[in-house]
Amino acid sequence: MIDLIRLSLQGITRHEAERIAGANNLQVINRNGIITYDNMNTKFIDAFYIRVETNQTGRLKLECSLHKYYSHVRTGRQTNFDLFSFGNSKAAAKLLEQQTALDLSKMKVTYYEIGLNMNMATDCRIYLDQMETVGSGENKRPLFVNPRYKDKRVKTTVFHKTIKKVYKVYDKVFEMKDKRRTDLPDHPNILRIESIYKRVENLTLADLLTPATIERLTAQFIKDWRSVQFSPEIIAPKGTHQRKIILGKQILVHGTAETLYLYKMQHKEGSLTEWRYRNIREFINDEWNTFKNSITVIRNDKEREYMDKLAETLKHLNC
């Protein structure tokens, strides 16, 4: 489940840098007399990236998708659309250590992703459109469409540089097609969920791969992705205006305070009339508590399928 990972180590001597460069066929780059070694020209062939600096810090950086690397070693294809367990992640790290002749266990982890692929019954866009938030209580975060990708096939939580953990969900097959990959999976509807840990501190790869850490990360991953909230289905009394139903759905997902704030901002920006904003404010403040007792909220069909598929996939991975 641990996929893309970034490792770092400082204090590499010039002699050690030359040894690493020779063992991994790294290219020599000379900028104003400062030597750097990397495999930028072959990283897509090697399925990992190494950079070794010979300045005062003597820093080594290693980036690798453990899932793609594992597939590369076993099948010759750099893919990550199938199931990949924590045990596979450990095996991939061991293989990478053997190939690079590096002691990866002592290297600092600066970034890692935990991902899971689920084979869904229908087009992933349908699930993505209905996924609203992830997390619960104070940790609930909205899922936004990432505008960098077309067709609204990727959603993430806010990924500002100061945020250490980001959630991402996307259409895996669409992503591969967008990158013009030809080694597509047989299943056309693969929904991928990821928890991304950025700006990681004081964690070695050995620490990350201990049974205790993996158990904790697994439990947190399951808790987080079971908390995904889909657009609710509301059964309202006959004759209820559609605007009230839509507003009710928003309140159920985001709460009264946040919903009112969102409409307040729309009014402030001029995209919502004073009359409409007043009606919304009065509904939230005066009518909602009564209205919510008159409606029935049912779990969305796609939400039920998502939850079942999540449990089924995790079971296959013995999580």
The answer to whether the CB of 178 falls within 8 A of the CB of 171 is no
Residue 136's pLDDT is what? Answer: 84
Angle at 125 between CA 119 and CA 131, to 5 degrees: 90
Residue 282's pLDDT is what? Answer: 95
Residue 163's pLDDT is what? Answer: 94
The answer to whether the CB of 130 falls within 8 A of the CB of 300 is yes
Query: What is the per-residue DSSP string for the chain?
Result: -EEEEEEEE----HHHHHHHHHHTTPEEEEETTEEEEE-TTTHHHHTSEEEEE-SSS--EEEEEEHHHHHHHHHHS-----S---HHHHHHHHHHHHHHHT--GGGSEEEEEEEEEEEE-SS-HHHHHHHEEEES-GGG-EE-EE-TTSGGG-EEE----TT-SEEEEEEEHHHHHHHTT-S---S-S-EEEEEEEE-S--S-BHHHHTSHHHHHHHHHHHHHHHHS-EEPPEEE--TT--HHHHHHHHHHHHH-HHHHHHHHHHHHHHTSS-HHHHHHHHHIIIIIHHHHGGG-EEE--HHHHHHHHHHHHHHHHTT-
**Torsion angle (degrees, nearest 10) of CA 197, 112, 45, 117:** -80
| CA separation for the pair 89, 70 (Å, rounded) | 8
Tokens 């993996």 appear where? 214
Residue 34's pLDDT is what? Answer: 87
Residue 263's pLDDT is what? Answer: 94
Residue 309's pLDDT is what? Answer: 97
Residue 74's pLDDT is what? Answer: 95
| CA separation for the pair 114, 27 (Å, rounded) | 31
Residue 288's pLDDT is what? Answer: 95
Give the fold, CATH level 3, of 1-106: Double Stranded RNA Binding Domain (3.30.160)
Q: Sort residue 314 into left (φ over 0), alpha (ψ -120 to 50) or beta.
A: alpha
Domain boundaries, the chain: 1-106, 111-231+305-319, 233-298
pLDDT per residue, tens digit, the chain (319 aa), is 999 999 999 999 999 999 999 999 999 999 888 899 999 999 999 999 999 999 888 999 999 999 999 999 999 999 999 999 999 999 999 999 999 999 999 999 999 999 999 999 999 999 999 999 999 888 899 999 999 888 999 999 999 989 999 999 999 999 999 999 999 999 999 999 999 999 999 999 999 999 999 999 999 999 999 999 999 999 999 999 999 999 999 999 889 999 999 999 999 999 999 999 999 999 999 999 999 999 999 988 999 999 999 999 999 998 7
Residue 289's pLDDT is what? Answer: 94
| CA separation for the pair 80, 2 (Å, rounded) | 11
